[in-house]
Amino acid sequence: AMLIAKQVLTAISFIHDHNIVHRDIKAANVLIAKDGIIKLGDFGVCIRAAASSGDQKERLAGSPYWMAPEVIRREPLRDRKPQDIWSFGIFMFELLTGNPPLHQVDPARAMRTIAKSMPPRMESTGISKDVCDFVNSCLHDDPDKVLFYCVLLCVINSLLNMHIRGHQQKIY
């Protein structure tokens, strides 16, 4: 799971470096080639990373269970990149548990809950605490507190190195 996460996060860093925000990161949009290379697909709702003005309302786009709270609340944003990190965190939740949080409720109710509640938390039941902490670090309801992808990539590399050296139980 962390090898997939690393490749997806690398793809996010690439598009963010090119001033693009994907806005629909989820398992259905992560493609695995025969050679094991991960591709990020479906750029149908992507936008420029920087809003043209600080008071511009966010257009509602993406898949409900993976939408960041600030997108659902349609808050004015200066930087849209944090919404991809939120979606990446929900993608990781989905990858590790089989479903995104709130999958058992209808999309409209899920959106209301995401907009008004504290972020979901991954519990370390069968998954290492370090990986749970990593996923939870992607899920902040304040976009100004979201870690940048470069920091998250460093954390993934550390987790993978610990696993390779045998200092950690299964990390996925």
For the annotated catalytic residues, the residue numbers are 24
Contact 25, 87 (CB under 8 A): yes
Other beta carbons within 10 Å of 43? 13
